[in-house]
Amino acid sequence: MGMMPKRPRHRPRGSILAAIDVGSTKIACFIARVEDEDRLQPIGIGHQLSQGVKAGAIVDMEAATAAIAQAVNAAEQMAGETIREAMVNLSAAHVESHPLTVEVAISGHQVGDLDLRRALASARQVERPGETEIVHAIPVGYAIDGMRGIEEPRGMFGQTLGVQLHAIAANAGAVRTMGVCVADAHLNVEGICVGPYASGLATLVDDEMDLGCVLIDMGGGTTEIGVFVEGVCVHVDCVPVGGAHVTRDVASGLSTSLTHAERIKTLYGAAFASAADERELIDVPQIGDAESHGPNHLPRSFLTSIIQPRLEETFEMVRGKLEASGFHAAAGRRVVLTGGASQLAGVRELAQLILDKQVRLARPFRIPGLAENAAGPAFATAAGLLRFAARMPDDLKSLPAAQQAPTSLFGKVGHWLRENL
Ligand SMILES: Nc1ncnc2c1ncn2[C@@H]1O[C@H](COP(=O)(O)OP(=O)(O)OP(=O)(O)O)[C@@H](O)[C@H]1O
Ligand SMILES: [Mg+2]
C-alpha cells in the first residue's frame, strides 16, 4: 500500500487573501494574490494610526472599528478589489501558551487526515480554566503506540495516535470583541493568528526556524515573544511594554509633548550610550512656552539616559519570560528583532548584551514586492498573517467539522484544522 496523499498546503493560484494587523500604534491591512506555492503578490496596502487599542487590547470598540475600516478601505482601493474576509492577529497579551498531549484510538487502521482532525478536535475538549478558547493547536510531534519521534504519521498503522501540541488559548472575550469590531467594518474574521507567530512566519529564515530562535516583535504597546524550534512555533509570550512607554518616558524626562518626544526619539534616540552622545546637542521644544523661550539644548547623552533603562528593563523581562518558559535552551543562540520599535538605534547591541544571544534585525522579507513604506519591521505581523493565510488549503473549509467540536463564532475549528493538517 502506498503513502497517503498529503493534503495540499497552499491556496490555489489566483486566490485573493487579506490580513489585518490591529496594533497599538497602527492598523495595517494587506491584500495579496496567490501567485503559486509560497509566492504572494501584494496588491493592496492600507495603514492607519491606530485608535482605541492599548497594549494590544481593544479599549474603545467604535474607535478601533473606524480605524480598521479606514485601513481596509485604503487597501481595497489600491487593490481594486473588495474583500469579504481577513486573517486577523491577536496580541500575545491575550493568550496563554502551553504544551498539550492528546491521544485518539486508531484501532489498527492506517492513520489518515480524519484521525489527525479528531486528535486536534479533542484538544478543544480539554478542561480549561475560565473563559478561554484554543486559537492554535500546533502539532509539535507524534507518537504511535507510545513510540515518539514520528514526524509524519499519515499512512502508518497502530492502536493509538498521540499528538504533542503547542496549544495557544486565548481570552474568549478578547476574541469576540475583535470579531465584532472587524464585523462592524463589514468583514468576516477568516481566522486568527497570534502576533509573534505571524511575525516569525514573515521574518525568519528556514535555518532560524529549524535550529531554534527567539523572535521578539517590539511594538508600540507590547513586546511579543515567539520561540521557534524545528520549524514549529513552540511558545509565545508577551511583555506589556513597548515603544509608546519609551516615548512617554522621553516626554516626561524632557518636559515636552508626546508628539515632540516621538520625533526626538526616532531622530536622536538610542538604546545604548556612545561616546559621541556627550558632545552632541539636541533641540527640545518645551511644553507651553514655544514662543516665549528659545529652544532648549540638551546633550544627546541625556536622552539616551532616559531611554536606555526602559529598554534594559524590557529585555530583562523578556529574558525572565524565556527562562520561565522552559524553552530558553531549546531556543538556541539566535534572537531576531522586528516591530517598529526595533528601529531605535542601538537596540540590537543592547539586546545582545542582556539576552546573551546573537541578535539580528529583521523586516518581513517573505512577502517580496511590498512598497518601501510597507516593508519595514512594523509590518512583520501583517505580512506574516498573509503567509499564514496562504498556507491554509481552501478546501478544508468545506470538509465536515470533526465530531463534538463545538460550533463557534468564527469557525475557529476549521481554522486551526486548516492550519495544522
Ligand atoms: N525609527 C524609529 N525609531 C525608534 N522607534 C520607532 C521608529 N519607528 C517607529 N518606532 C516606534 O515603533 C512603535 C510602533 O511599532 P509597531 O508599529 O510595530 O507597533 P504596533 O504593532 O502598532 O503595536 P503592538 O504590536 O504593541 O500592538 C512606536 O512606539 C514607535 O515609536
Ligand atoms: Mg505589533
Residues found in the chain = 421
In-domain check, residue 104: no
Nearest atom within ligand 1 for CA of residue 262: 31
114 C-alpha vs ligand 2 centroid, how far in Å? 35
In-domain check, residue 417: yes
* Contacts (Cβ under 8 Å, ≥6 apart) of 339: 199, 216, 217, 218, 219, 223, 224, 242, 377, 378, 380, 381
Q: What is the pLDDT of residue 421?
A: 39
Condensed to tens digits (0 to 9), the pLDDT of residues 62-90 reads 999 999 999 999 999 999 999 999 999 99
Cα angle, residue 202 at apex, residues 372 and 73 outer, rounded to 5°? 55
257 C-alpha vs ligand 2 centroid, how far in Å? 24
Nearest atom within ligand 1 for CA of residue 247: 31
Q: What is the DSSP track for 37-78?
A: TTEEEEEEEEEEE--SEETTEES-HHHHHHHHHHHHHHHHHH
Last residue of a domain, one of 332, 361, 390: 361
| Spatial contact of 370 and 379, defined as CB atoms under 8 Å apart | yes
**Is 325 in the same domain as 376?**
no
**Is 194 in the same domain as 302?**
no
In-domain check, residue 314: yes
**Is 181 in the same domain as 240?**
no
In-domain check, residue 109: no
Q: Is 361 exposed, middle or buried (0-12, 13-18, 19+ CB in 10 A)?
A: middle
Closest CA to 134 of 378, 383, 347, 408: 408
The range of the structural domain enclosing residue 76 comes to 1-95+169-204+363-421
**Is 268 in the same domain as 323?**
yes
Give, to the nearest 10 degrees, the angle between helix 258-268 and helix 300-325.
90
382 C-alpha vs ligand 2 centroid, how far in Å? 9
Strand arrangement, sheet containing 26-36:
39-49, 26-36, 16-22, 85-90, 188-194
294 C-alpha vs ligand 1 centroid, how far in Å? 30
Closest CA to 25 of 45, 46, 57, 53: 53
Dist CA 342 CA 352 (whole Å): 13
**Is 382 in the same domain as 308?**
no
85 C-alpha vs ligand 2 centroid, how far in Å? 20
Q: Give the closest ligand to the alpha carbon of residue 222.
A: 1
Last residue of a domain, one of 335, 361, 387: 361
Whole-number CA gyration radius for the chain: 23
Nearest atom within ligand 1 for CA of residue 378: 18
346: left (phi over 0), alpha (psi -120 to 50) or beta: left
Backbone angles phi, psi at 287, to 5 degrees: -65, 130
Mean pLDDT, residues 325-333 taken together: 92
**Is 49 in the same domain as 86?**
yes
**Is 243 in the same domain as 335?**
yes
125 C-alpha vs ligand 2 centroid, how far in Å? 31
Range from 11-25, 120-134, 289-303 that averages highest in pLDDT = 11-25
**Is 87 in the same domain as 76?**
yes
C-alpha cell at 312: 534594559
Q: Give the closest ligand to the alpha carbon of residue 223.
A: 1
Dist CA 337 CA 271 (whole Å): 14
Cβ of 344 less than 6 Å from ligand 1: yes
In-domain check, residue 164: no
Most ligand 1 atoms within 8 A of CB, residue of 20, 25, 29 to mutate: 25
In-domain check, residue 136: no
**Is 374 in the same domain as 347?**
no
In-domain check, residue 66: yes
Q: What is the pLDDT of residue 235?
A: 97
- Name the strand (E) or helix (H) holding 414: helix 412-420
Q: Which residues pair with 284 in a beta bridge?
A: 296
244 C-alpha vs ligand 1 centroid, how far in Å? 7
Condensed to tens digits (0 to 9), the pLDDT of residues 97-147 reads 999 999 999 999 999 988 888 888 888 777 666 788 888 888 899 999 999
Q: Give the closest ligand to the alpha carbon of residue 25.
A: 1
Condensed to tens digits (0 to 9), the pLDDT of residues 170-206 reads 999 999 999 999 999 999 999 999 999 999 999 999 9
**Is 32 in the same domain as 87?**
yes
Dist CA 274 CA 354 (whole Å): 17
Cβ of 158 less than 6 Å from ligand 1: no
**Is 214 in the same domain as 355?**
yes
Dist CA 268 CA 345 (whole Å): 8
3 C-alpha vs ligand 2 centroid, how far in Å? 41
Q: Which residues pair with 160 in a beta bridge?
A: 105
Q: What is the pLDDT of residue 290?
A: 54
Confidence of residue 289 (pLDDT cuts 50, 70, 90): low
Dist CA 93 CA 56 (whole Å): 6
Cβ of 221 less than 6 Å from ligand 1: yes
Cβ of 314 less than 6 Å from ligand 1: no
Cβ of 220 less than 6 Å from ligand 1: yes
Task: Name the domain count of the chain.
Answer: 2
| Position with higher pLDDT, 284 vs 348 | 348
| Spatial contact of 385 and 20, defined as CB atoms under 8 Å apart | yes
Last residue of a domain, one of 323, 346, 361: 361
Nearest atom within ligand 1 for CA of residue 27: 22
Q: What is the pLDDT of residue 398?
A: 28
213 C-alpha vs ligand 2 centroid, how far in Å? 19
Cβ of 219 less than 6 Å from ligand 1: yes
Cβ of 22 less than 6 Å from ligand 1: no
**Is 54 in the same domain as 186?**
yes
| CATH number of residue 298's parent domain | 3.30.420.40
Cβ of 364 less than 6 Å from ligand 1: no
37 C-alpha vs ligand 1 centroid, how far in Å? 31
Nearest atom within ligand 1 for CA of residue 221: 26
In-domain check, residue 50: yes
Q: Which residues pair with 226 in a beta bridge?
A: 215, 236
C-alpha cell at 211: 535550529
Condensed to tens digits (0 to 9), the pLDDT of residues 144-164 reads 999 999 988 999 999 999 999
Cβ of 196 less than 6 Å from ligand 1: no
Dist CA 416 CA 421 (whole Å): 9
